[in-house]
Chains A and B, each alone.
Chain A
Amino acid sequence: MKLSGKVAIVTGAASGIGAAIAARFRQEGAVVVGADIACAPSAEFRRIDVSVEEDWVSLIEDVLGAHGRIDVLVNAAGVSLAGDTLEACSPETLRRTISVNLDGTFLGCRHVIAPMRRQGSGSIVNIGSILGRVADGAAVAYVASKGGVGMLTKSAALHLARTARGVRCNQISPGYVATPMVENWLADLPDGQARGRELVAAHPLGRLGRPDEIAAAALFLASDESRAVTGADFLIDGGYTAH
């Protein structure tokens, strides 16, 4: 088991990629606290809005109180809202997308650093997107938010390398993955079915990714196996950005 004795926080853990990561980490021996805006609170789940700083402060206090340490933070909470083309995108759509995808990731990084620095170890994994690397023309706020996550990750990695040796920050950029987020987004489009076929064709491997394939990469980056990797962006995209 690659995460024995480690304590992990996974945001967006109620569905999709976050749920797969939380499940895989538990299989590998970690204590996982899932955090999501849409979940019933339980021993394994906390309800937080990642864009609200107070929610982060109390989450981290509680996890430290219950488990004494935080070894891994995965920022997987994300939204892709309807009406996200440049001309349709309202200021509210832009702000909500940025606040969850980018502010939420920023706040998570910001607040988990202090306990990780005290421990002298820790791994932050941010879920970016291929759309942080190549644009799409139909998701302006989402693309901007994920572009921001890409450079936030690198900036955090350099800051940590200089000021908190042993604490790392990396990113995974998935291709389109078969999750409720992608399925709902397609369902909202007038030409959703055709778009879905185009998406599959845009991945040279000829299919969308599976949440467990992103979870496998998150496991590698969370574990000590990757201790020399920081500031990196692992593309798990079926070849989407290779051409």
Chain B
Amino acid sequence: MSFAGSVALVTGGGSGIGLACCRRFAAQGATVIAADLKKPPPELEASAWVELDVTDPGRWRDVIDGIRAEHGRLDALVNSAGLLAEGTVEDTSLDLWRRIMAVNLEGTFFGCQAVLPLMRESGSGSIVNLSSVSGIKADAELAAYDASKGAVRMLTKEVALFCARRGDRIRCNSVHPGVVDTPMVRNIFKDAALASERQWDESQPIGRRIEAEEAASLIVWLCSPEASFATGAEFVIDGGATA
């Protein structure tokens, strides 16, 4: 499986699952552009980095124009930028609700919209949207996050059908990780006692957290020609949590 000659754009590329995807794409020969609010670790400097606030459609256009000018093509987009915050339906403020929707849902929507013309020019493309097991199974403490990830799940199918019906050779799938060991997840546990964090891990059917690299292996596989008949589908990587 080689991505030589391919160009991949990864949002949230500076940390967590996004960073793991950048490493894996690079290891397989792709030209990777990591897009994030802040500069990624120095190891990624071999690949390009662009500053991108995914909630800003104008900035998306600039980033895509830049990729077209510099690389002339785009083969893969991974919408990995995400925001996780706790809150029940009763105590989630409208402000928090909108911030989570802006990053998780609108950011993914703007990304899908922005890349289609360049992927068509490239002849084909693959988009992977990061949903979550939270887009399949709710948790009373994560009202806005669950709703945003459920919306990403259906947005993905809409993009897939739109592209397939037009005859664009662009696939779009969603990936649904369980609890992955990333800064985003560690942050949510920050205030929790260590014991409860361990209990949480042990409550997972496979008894541990998922590594970002494990999620990246699935995501990058979906971007490869190996997954040529997969579109509009949901790919769960959760150690059995939703079985």
Contacts and interface: CB of A to CB of B under 8 A. Distances in A.
**Of B227, B229, B234, most A-chain CB atoms within 10 Å:** B229
Nearest to A238: B229
Contacts of A209: 229
16 contacts: A174-B229, A175-B229, A204-B160, A204-B165, A216-B228, A220-B221, A227-B214, A228-B214, A229-B237, A229-B239, A231-B240, A234-B233, A238-B231, A239-B231, A241-B232, A242-B233
B207 A165 contact: yes
Interface string A34-72: 000000000000000000000000000000000000000
B147 interface: no
Interface of A: 154-155, 157-158, 161-162, 165, 174-175, 204-206, 209-210, 213-214, 216-217, 219-220, 225-239, 241-243
Interface of B: 157, 160-161, 164-165, 167, 205-207, 210-211, 214-215, 217-218, 221, 226-243
Contacts, number: 119
A204 B172 CA distance: 12
Nearest to A177: B229
A157 B233 contact: no
B230 A235 contact: yes
B231 A205 contact: yes
Given A217-B230, A238-B231, A239-B231, A205 B164 contact: yes
B161 A231 contact: no
Contacts of B205: 157-158, 161-162, 230-231
B242 A231 contact: yes
B225 to A, nearest CB: 8
